Structure formats: C-alpha cells, structure tokens
Amino acid sequence: MRELIESAKCVLFDFDGPVCHLFRNRPTPAIAERLRALVLDSRPESDWLPHTTDPLEILRAAFEQPDLVESGVARDMERVLTEEEVKAAPGAFPTAFADTLVRTLNATGRQLAVTTNNSPQAVERYLESRQTAELFAGQIHGRGGEGTLHLKPDPYCLLRALESTGTPAEEALMIGDAPRDLEAARAAGVAFLGYARNERKAAELRAAGVEHTVDSLRDVVVIVDPGAHV
C-alpha cells in the first residue's frame, strides 16, 4: 500500500464517504420518496423502481426508462436530487483526516480531483465550507453528460479527471468506498485504495476484490508525510 500511495502523482477522491458523510443531517429515505413521487406523477406503473432508499439508484433506474428521459421526468429528478445534495452540503459531516490528507497531498505536489456520482455543485459547496475548494479548482467531476448520467461504475468521471489534470492513468490513484468505485477505477486503468469506515463497508470491498483498504485516512496521511503529527 505504501508504494501505491507514494507513487501517485494525482489522487482522485470519491466524495460521499472518503471526503464526507453528505446526508448526515438529511436522511435519504425522504429524498428517495420525493424522487419516487415525481415518477408516479408521470407513470403510475412503477414495478421497475428498485426497492431502495438510495436516491442515486432510483435516479439510475429512471434514466434507464426511455420515456422518462424523453419526457424530461428523469432530468427533473436529477435536478431535484441536485437541490437536495446542495442543501445537505453545508451540514455534511467531514470524514476524519480528510481535510488533513487533502492539504498534505497538495503540499507534497500531488494533483487532486473529485470523481463522484454526486452533483458537482454539492461538492463545490461542501469544499467551500471546508476552505479546501481552491485545492480542487476545476477538478470536480460529478454526474452529468448529454442525455445520460454516466454514474460509476462507468469510468466517465475518472477519464475526465485524468484528461483535465493531464495525468496518465498509471500515475493516478483513486480513493473510494464502494465496489462501483473499484469497477470504475479498473475500467479507467487507475490504481485503487479502499476506504471502509466500518466492517460492513470493508466486507463489501473485500468481496469485490479490493486488495488495499484503510479504516482511517490517517493511515494515508502518515505515508504521504511520515513526519505528520496526526
């Protein structure tokens, strides 16, 4: 793991997990129900909707329905979710040592980028609240694209980050907390480090084939800067 981290010239962060807990103060079930209501107003038949409280999975399913995309309902759902994410951002709970790691990586000459399924607007608002936005200037790559979401495991946001930073894939490292992050990193040819805040997350990452995981970003900080007092 030390070699993996030390050799990285650019670090790509997933957002919700490795950087913060976005919906700490805005529970996702209510947001998921808001998205479901938009669907039901347009199409009462909803057997295709996934049984989940994860708004992103509901949004993903909506974009797989051609009629909802063509009618604009799917895009309306995406706008609603963006609104909810932006509202949540100022109250998001910082992941321990994330700010320290970001500043340490920057101080040691690494480039930084965010590669996330969340909206770029929410990421920007959160980073501004932590006074770290300037460290990611121009390098926030969230969901988007013409007529589609490009959600991970699609590597779209990672490929955009590599292009915008001018980084070869073999010189980049992604830090993520979900199997879809690993799949996206593999598809982009980027090395991967798993962050698991609890044993459930750790088990999911192990089952997906993640070789290196940490349960605290402090472990990464002390590799980047052995003299750090954290």
Tens-digit pLDDT profile for the chain (230 aa)? 999 999 999 999 999 999 999 999 888 999 999 999 999 988 888 889 999 999 999 999 999 999 999 999 999 999 999 999 999 999 999 999 999 999 999 999 999 999 999 999 999 999 999 999 999 999 999 997 556 789 999 999 999 999 999 999 999 999 999 999 999 999 999 999 999 999 999 999 999 999 999 999 999 999 999 988 88
How do beta strands 140-141 and 111-115 pair? parallel
Q: If one looks up domain 2-21+93-224 in CATH, what number appears?
A: 3.40.50.1000
Report which residue type is found at 121: Q
Residues 6+ apart with CB under 8 A from 14: 114, 115, 116, 174, 175, 176, 177, 178, 181, 195
**Whole-structure pTM value:** 0.95
* Residue whose pair of structure tokens reads 């709970």 in the numeric block: 93
Alpha-helix residue ranges (DSSP H) falling in 43-198: 55-62, 66-71, 73-88, 98-107, 120-129, 156-165, 179-188
